[in-house]
Structure 1
Amino acid sequence: MKTSGQLRMGLILILNCVLVWCAAVPQTRYTVDIVLPCDYALLDSGVGGLGFTRQKVTLVLKNVTVKGEEPAEPMPDYQPPENPDTTVFLATAVDLAPLSFAERLLHVECGDEGEKVEEVECEISPLYSQLFAAHIRLSELSIAIMAKAESPIETSDELANDKVVLPMSVELLVSSSPPSQKSSLSDEVTLNCEVWGGTEVNVDWHLQKDGTGHRLNLEDSRITIQKETEETKETSSLTIRKLNVHDEGTYICVVSSEKHRVQQILQLQIREPPKVTVSVSQNPKTTVTCRTDHYYPLDVDVTWLLNGSPLTHVSPFTSSHRRNQDGTYSVNSFLEVPAPEPGAPADTYTCSVSHVSVTDPIIMEVHVLPEQTDVSYTATFFTVLLAITILSILLFLWQQRDKRAKKKTI
């Protein structure tokens, strides 16, 4: 027992030493240059009206700070070519806190032996004067960058054609991950908006729904906004508890500084799976009913099978969609079906419900038994009649025995 206690104490001391040593190891910071292929989008007023022209360009994010273990071999700095094949937007990140997704961007285009790791969408467009906006989209990640050219630009459309190197500085960077979420009713969801910048910013949240938008009402006890600040990075987290269908919509994170205004769009979709029940009734015809209740959104597909095969001889009747108090929907599907022939096995009717909230259709079955024939009713009648006759005879015999017993007593 003493040995066991000493061993346990020794393990605790070793664990404490390891934790202290890990805490003492500083997080390494290093800078990298990230090169991304992009489209340069320009507004064009052509014959068919307003549109966009796109040309291939290169976006280089220089001096991006990364926190973590530094690679064994330092990453080479990007050197602008003298005669570039495409226009290069050389955007330098000045005094920005480490980007949590920098490693992901760094290896987004190619992995081992040139194998592509992840698709990336990148688009740059001019705003006004020397200001440009870049939007980068990956799976579950959206990034918006506001960058300013070091010198005035005469005409924005010449940048792509002349294939120049345009030095710029990143003034504001906003990211959201993930930019789209799907949640069920009564769940809790958190939408994040991360902001990097050298100046003080203000973050507001708006909800766009059914063609109208409004600033979020923070008097709603279900909604809270939490802000965290670390160096030149600010995180705004919007949390909504006990979700209902009215919470679905487009949430806009509006980031404002003294000079700039950037928006990040986040989608919240409600996905509530249907509750499916089936039943069979006789009133007076045999009716099979499939109830599909409390699903969202509206579109749902209800189909029937008979003994595993599609129905051909019976057409279902489907009720109109009903809107429930919680905003979900319900619908019923009915079948008037013939009963199987006497002596045949029961028919199995299958209700299959497909909805965007479930990967596979919801399957429910009900069995319709054969009808009882007249012969069975006749047999039942004679069985009951025989039982009554036997009981009558037994009662008569008991009465006769009782009379004989009374005579002997007299």
Structure 2
Amino acid sequence: MGFKTLLHLCLYTAVQCVSDIRALNCKFSDQKSFLNNGTHDIDISHKDVILQFGQKGDAPVKPDTVTFLLTGSSLDLRLYLGKADEDQLACELHRHSTNGVHVQWPLQETHGYNYWYNCIIRHSLFTVTSFLRQPSTNPAPGRHDYHNWAVIKDGEVLTTIVALVVKTNTPEVKSALGTQTKLDCQFAIDHEGADYTVEWFSYGNGQRNQLFSHSRRSGLTQGTGVNLKALEKGDASYDLPAADKGSQQTFVCSVSVKPLVATVNIDWTIEEKPKVFLNVPPVLSMKEGEVKRIECRADHYYPQDVKMIWYWYKPTASSQIDPDVLNKTHSSHMSNNDGTVSLDAYINIRPSVKDSGTMYICSVFHQSLRVPIRMSIIIQVEDPNQQLLIFSTLFTTIIISALLYMIHKMCSARRRRSRRLPY
């Protein structure tokens, strides 16, 4: 849903859309230019400030702190904060240099100069980037504006107006191999008919790739993935094609209106769940003293970080409360053709008869799993003395059976001979 559609929905329905947050605590990154051996350097300092929502002339909620007072405009920044609580939001403010480019903003009340501030508000479910405009009666500086930025003193109130907003509801995206993904990007500008340019970039493996570009002024479009009709309504979301290889990238949605460039970053990664299996059956019969290597494989997962633990547990052992961790050996990571990874963790066991009934458990932990995957086996150890006893008993039984059979045959033959005698 685009910002304009959402705004109309709030205006014409009883839906409570605007957050009731009155003020936010923010970190302000201030900059001061100074000469150092004939060259201009920038000194950056950080301070706590207040971002306050209200009207021009409102008293600051914290009089001793720098206050950025957001006054009414066609854009209300609270509209993009949803139902988030103050303690769920991280706010930061930065001065913005136009690099000596002075543009008369369409809604500017005077012909003076605008001071610009970039405001970024982060939530676990969204990121909002906006530009705040502070009108002044000062003339354009005629040189890089950061050379004559005024010092902002504690207790000062800076009355500003929101000029541009860009928001993403997908700051972090995890996709499975072979699935298409929509990267969300919405924007709004405080005046109609603005000449904006929307671009999408990706960064990964040290490379920057341009994916899409559209200029409203020229009508020129390069690349695909963004619906142009939706773009006219403020929806610049990008349809990311299905990936066939494991990867991690950062995608950037950029909206520029001279002299501003607002961006939101989206961290994207392929996330494949491991398939786990053992190289032995669930019940393993062994001879006493026999050495067996048991392998647990985590197969075709991504990203690479995985934790594999072997435990042993004997249900009949009353003294053992929890499973004990075993020493294990890892193979080196094995790369697959689809970019996923496989890893083996194995143990060597040499059980005795008293170990019969012991359970060995392999647990695999990975960020794609809500709970670890566990695979287990139970070993049954054959007692050689018991085997000898069984063999002896069986041999004795066979001998006795044979003797009884022979005795029976001899008795039967004697009875037949006695019947043939004439007396």
3-state SS in 1 of match to 2:235: strand
Of residues 193, 196, 199 in structure 1, which corresponds to 2:188? 196
Pairwise mapping of residues 179-258 of structure 1 onto structure 2 (< 5 A)? 179-197=171-189, 198=191, 199-216=194-211, 224-229=225-230, 233-258=233-258
1:358 aligned onto 2:358: no
Pairwise mapping of residues 39-50 of structure 1 onto structure 2 (< 5 A)? 39-43=27-31
For residues 337-382 of structure 1, what are the alpha-carbon distances to aligned partners after superposition, in whole Å with 9 as ceiling and x for unaligned? 112317x632211112122222333221111211341552574487
CA–CA distance in structure 2, aligned partners of residues 324 and 294 of structure 1 = 7
The residue type equivalent to 1:35 in the other structure is A
The residue type equivalent to 1:320 in the other structure is S
Label 1:181 to 1:388 Cα distance change in 2 as closer, same or farther (>3 A): farther
For residues 287-315 of structure 1, what are the alpha-carbon distances to aligned partners after superposition, in whole Å with 9 as ceiling and x for unaligned? 22211111111111211111153246xx4
Of residues 146, 158, 161 in structure 1, which corresponds to 2:153? 161
CA–CA distance in structure 2, aligned partners of residues 101 and 291 of structure 1 = 46
Of residues 13, 17, 21 in structure 2, which corresponds to 1:27? 13
3-state SS in 2 of match to 1:225: coil
Query: How far is the alpha carbon of 1:270 from its aligned partner?
Result: 2.5
CA–CA distance in structure 2, aligned partners of residues 377 and 228 of structure 1 = 84
CA–CA distance in structure 1, aligned partners of residues 231 and 78 of structure 2 = 12
Determine if contact 1:318/1:334 at 8 Å carries over to the other structure: yes
Label 1:305 to 1:148 Cα distance change in 2 as closer, same or farther (>3 A): same
Query: How far is the alpha carbon of 1:158 from its aligned partner?
Result: 4.2
Determine if contact 2:364/2:372 at 8 Å carries over to the other structure: yes
When the two structures are aligned, how many residues end up with a matched partner?
344
CA–CA distance in structure 1, aligned partners of residues 310 and 43 of structure 2 = 48
Equivalent in the alignment of 1:125: 95
Query: How far is the alpha carbon of 1:329 from its aligned partner?
Result: 0.8
Equivalent in the alignment of 1:296: 302
Equivalent in the alignment of 2:259: 259
Of residues 121, 134, 148 in structure 2, which corresponds to 1:149? 134
Query: How far is the alpha carbon of 1:61 from its aligned partner?
Result: 4.8
Equivalent in the alignment of 1:276: 276
Pick 1 or 2: higher relative contact order, CA cutoff 8 A, min separation 6: 2
Label 1:356 to 1:44 Cα distance change in 2 as closer, same or farther (>3 A): farther
The residue type equivalent to 2:26 in the other structure is C
CA–CA distance in structure 2, aligned partners of residues 57 and 145 of structure 1 = 17
Determine if contact 1:304/1:350 at 8 Å carries over to the other structure: yes
For residues 232-266 of structure 1, what are the alpha-carbon distances to aligned partners after superposition, in whole Å with 9 as ceiling and x for unaligned? x5111112353444553110001122432221111
| TM-score (structure 2 length as normaliser) | 0.67
CA RMSD across the alignment: 4.2
Label 1:160 to 1:56 Cα distance change in 2 as closer, same or farther (>3 A): farther
Equivalent in the alignment of 2:169: 177
CA–CA distance in structure 2, aligned partners of residues 304 and 247 of structure 1 = 29
Equivalent in the alignment of 1:81: 59
Equivalent in the alignment of 1:68: none
Q: Which runs of 5+ in 1 are unaligned?
A: 1-22, 63-76, 110-116, 402-410
For residues 201-234 of structure 1, what are the alpha-carbon distances to aligned partners after superposition, in whole Å with 9 as ceiling and x for unaligned? 221111111222111279xxxx832345598x51
Give the share of equivalent positions with the same residue, in percent. Answer: 22
CA–CA distance in structure 1, aligned partners of residues 386 and 68 of structure 2 = 91
Query: How far is the alpha carbon of 1:89 from its aligned partner?
Result: 2.8
Label 1:372 to 1:381 Cα distance change in 2 as closer, same or farther (>3 A): same
Determine if contact 1:133/1:145 at 8 Å carries over to the other structure: yes
Determine if contact 2:311/2:325 at 8 Å carries over to the other structure: yes
